[in-house]
Structure 1
Amino acid sequence: MAYIINPDRNTPWNGLPELPIDSEQYQTIEVYEQLGNTKAAIGRLQGRSIVIPNQGILVNSISLQEAKASSAIENIFTTDDELYKAFSEQQSQPQGATKEILNYREALWDGYHYLSNGGAIDRDYFIRMYRIVSQFSDGIRTPIAQIYIKQGGSGPNAGKAHYTPPRGAGVVEQKLDNLIEFLNNDDKFPLDPLLKMAIGHFQFEAIHPFRDGNGRTGRIFNIHYLTQKGLLDYPILFLSRYIMEHKEAYYDGLAGISQRGSWKNWILYMLKAVEETATLTYHKINDIIAAKDAILDAIVQKGDIMRPELLVEAIFTQPFTRVKHLTDQGAYAENTARKYLDQLSDMGILEKRAVSRNVYYLNLELYRILSE
């Protein structure tokens, strides 16, 4: 059965076909070969991540990078320094791009805990994620919201409608409910979760259920769906980096379905994104562990630092460390914490930076690994 495409970019696509799509759209040798490679890569990542004693080393650092890359897809940019410093200041009020990126990270973790504690990927889940990333308090958009996706750039078609999502009383809700049933009912729709994630991501973006933040919400969903299905224990997949580096192909893939019914190319793109991202994250984990072990050995050999394991755990939980991080954890008294961080700075492990009235200690190796 041919996929019914979007006939007019300027008219709401109320004819967006419900899921599931016809199996002929993805039952190809090419798709299944890529699916095998992707499952192997994400399995290797999962096997490596579960042996790390302190998941905070990963979840703080890699989730911040994921948040930064996802926001960059929406042309929301900040520097690593601004981002990490804002995160290290738990009581501060970041503004602009940094605030939006930290909102993404908050949604990433809020949704993970929501699902881990018995929640489901349902309307409440999607609205919850949207509200965190957008900081709006409404829910599914009403027909009053004249939403359409504009063409970018500066050419003759810039600003014109590139795509107009469904609109009308109950239309968006009905299509979102169909997506939710497809994702959750594995008896009725027995499909590999990686294929469901790829199909579900397009469908969510095509429905475009919210006034803002649909791209970020959809990318958060990708990671949550993989954790919910047991492919990952923690949301540590650095997926948005691949999409950012292949941004044009990402949007071409979305348009390819709505305008040409080209599901195979989209599914191959998403599977390749997960494969390469899983491999990238796997190597980052190995690099972080190797750097952590090397630094711990150097500190132990120095011999005059008490509880060196606690100190190393602290400086690898996030790139920027402050004295208060160590005192708040009860690891050391204030003077001792400052003395030890200064010693690591003298050893070339940390770089001491004074910003306004605050002093930060940058873990040079962790910063390098995350920036690569």
Structure 2
Amino acid sequence: MKYQINPDRSVPWNDLPDLPLNPELYRTVEIFEQLGSAKAALGKLQGRSIAIPNQGMLVNTISLQEAKASSAIENIFTTDDELYKAFSEDQNERISGPLKEILMYREALWEGFQYLNERKQFDHNYFRDIYRQVNQASDDIRPPFIHTYIRQGGTGPNAGKPIYTPPRGTGIVDAKLENLIRYLNDDVNFAADPLIKMAIAHFQFEAIHPFRDGNGRTGRIMNIHYLTHKGLLDYPILFMSRYIMDHKDDYYNGLMGVSQRGDWHTWILYMLRAIEVTANLTYDKINDVINTKDAILRAIIAETDVKRPESLVNVIFTQPLTRVRYITGQKLYSENTAKKYLNQLVSMGILERRSIQGNHYYLNSELYRILAE
């Protein structure tokens, strides 16, 4: 069984085959063995995460790192210090540049998750809304007169030359996206294991390239949402972009391998390995966070007179940087009491007090360390 490839990289791939794929393109022993490993790792992560009373803690911490890594794939960089400072600020404070893009990615990750919980299926509005949030744009699917190319990077002799040209033409992109949406929603006519289906759908979305910009980030958000939508995770906490960032060349070579050679085997193996590795990584991070949180709670109870210590610990584990007004805004304590308690934690070595641009912050150094590893 041959896959109809894109023979001319400078010509729009309007013959991009619709889904579903013929299973013979990926039905190999190696893929099914890797599928078993990926499902086992994902199941272990799900089992651990549902035992956590405050899953919002994971959504904030893990999703912020996912946003940072996914943005870095697109050469949008910031430091952890800058990121956590920006996240701890009020919504109305001015944030711009890479920081804003990363925080918007995290918002898209959360809002898309809620959208699917309410609508129960993917649709055009889902993709449009994710794109608009990530890109801070107001447009929709790119019009047919927009000539979009994926070009060779670097500085070599082929730098700037097209390595892939997505579909283009009146109604073509819309039709390809609608086919993808049917594939994602219909498990009767388009039956496949969810993890394999996610890998196929991710390639298809990137090949369609429906928007002017932000397609990579939108497609990676879709990966996580598909897993939560299928009930494989309760919350979007899989740290997949870290693996993709660490194996960036393999990611892009895998995409090109499908379009240029019809090599679905290598691509699907890559995505299944990404799920396995990042599920184990996220599982380890969750365990580290929980064990550290529990140890700190025990120390606070034993050594201080803090009232409602569980609430205070939940706050300092929601994000690495905390401010007094963040605590008072949740009406946990008065301003003076919040300062007193936070300074007690500084004396115990649990928090570090920092002054940044004239503002006082309290850093949970252990949470910071765990997330950075």
Matches within 5 A, 1:255-270: 255-270=256-271
**Equivalent AA in structure 1 for residue 339 of structure 2:** R
Q: Which residue of 1 aligns with 2:26?
A: 26
Q: Deviations over 1:75-116 (max 9, x none)?
A: 000000111111110222211100000010000000000011
Matches within 5 A, 1:1-372: 1-91=1-91, 92-372=93-373
- Match of 1:117, SS state, is helix
Q: Deviations over 1:247-304 (max 9, x none)?
A: 0000000000000000000000000000000000000000000000111111111132
**Equivalent AA in structure 2 for residue 241 of structure 1:** R
Distance in 2 of aligned mates of 1:335 and 1:56:
27
- Match of 1:352, SS state, is strand
Where does the alignment leave 5 or more consecutive residues of structure 2 unmatched? none
Cα distance, 1:119 vs. partner?
Answer: 4.5
RMSD value, Cα = 0.7
Distance in 1 of aligned mates of 2:62 and 2:160:
35
Distance in 1 of aligned mates of 2:133 and 2:124:
14
Distance in 2 of aligned mates of 1:90 and 1:114:
24
Cα distance, 1:145 vs. partner?
Answer: 1.1
Identity of aligned residues (%): 68
**Equivalent AA in structure 2 for residue 56 of structure 1:** G
TM-score (norm 1): 0.99
- Which 4+ runs in 1 deviate beyond 2 A? none
**Equivalent AA in structure 2 for residue 281 of structure 1:** T
**Equivalent AA in structure 2 for residue 365 of structure 1:** E
Distance in 1 of aligned mates of 2:205 and 2:177:
7
Distance in 2 of aligned mates of 1:321 and 1:247:
33
Count of residues in Structure 1 that have an aligned counterpart in Structure 2: 372
Where does the alignment leave 5 or more consecutive residues of structure 1 unmatched? none
Q: Which moved more, 1:226-235 or 1:178-187?
A: 178-187
**Equivalent AA in structure 1 for residue 326 of structure 2:** H
